[in-house]
Amino acid sequence: MGTSFHAAVASSRAAEAAFGPGIPCRAVDAFELLLEPDRITGAGAAVVFSSSGETALTLRAQEALRAGGVPHTLITGTARSRSAELADHVVLTQEATEEAWVHTVSYTTAVAAAVSLERVWAGRPVDDLSSIDAVVASVVDREADWKRLAEAVRKCPKFLCLGSGYAEATAREAALKLREGAARFVAWTGVEEFLHGVLPSVGPGTAVLAVSTSPLEQRRAETAVRAAARAGATTAWFHRGPPGPGPEEFELPAAPGPLTPLVDIVPFQFLTYWLAVGEGRNPDVMGFDDPRILGARRTYGI
Homologous superfamily (CATH) of 139-278 is Glucose-6-phosphate isomerase like protein; domain 1 (3.40.50.10490)
Tens-digit pLDDT profile for residues 199-234: 889 999 999 999 999 888 888 999 999 999 999 999
Which among 56, 6, 67, 3 is positioned nearest to 31, based on CA atoms? 56
The CB density around residue 84, as the number of other CB atoms within 10 Å, is 17
Cα separation, 159 vs 119, whole angstroms: 35
Look at 100-109, 144-153, 189-198 and tell me which has the smallest mean pLDDT. 100-109
- Global pTM reads 0.94
Look at 32-46, 64-78, 92-106, 277-291 and tell me which has the smallest mean pLDDT. 92-106
The CB density around residue 154, as the number of other CB atoms within 10 Å, is 14
- DSSP assignment letter at 196: I
Tens-digit pLDDT profile for residues 114-166: 999 999 999 988 877 888 999 999 999 999 999 999 999 999 999 999 999 99
89-to-167, 188, 225, 258 alpha-carbon distances in Å: 29, 33, 43, 23
Average pLDDT, the chain: 92
Between 88 and 302, the more confident residue is: 88
Which among 163, 165, 113, 155 is positioned nearest to 268, based on CA atoms? 163
What is the architecture, at CATH level 2, of domain 3-125? 3-Layer(aba) Sandwich (3.40)
Tell me the average pLDDT across 91-117.
Answer: 86
Tell me the average pLDDT across 89-117.
Answer: 87
Cα separation, 223 vs 217, whole angstroms: 10
Tens-digit pLDDT profile for residues 250-262: 999 999 999 999 9
In the predicted structure, residue 247 carries a pLDDT above the cut 70: no
Report whether 126 contacts 117 (CB < 8 A). Answer: no
In the predicted structure, residue 187 carries a pLDDT above the cut 80: yes
What pLDDT is stored for residue 297 in this prediction? 80
Between 247 and 162, the more confident residue is: 162
HSE (side-chain half, CA atoms, 13 Å) at 210 = 32
- DSSP assignment letter at 254: P
Numbered ranges of CATH 3.40.50.10490 in the chain = 3-125, 139-278
Between 55 and 243, the more confident residue is: 55
Which among 104, 36, 107 is positioned nearest to 76, based on CA atoms? 107
What pLDDT is stored for residue 95 in this prediction? 65
Q: Three-state DSSP class for 92? A: strand
What pLDDT is stored for residue 128 in this prediction? 72
Q: How far apart are the first and last CA of the chain?
A: 13
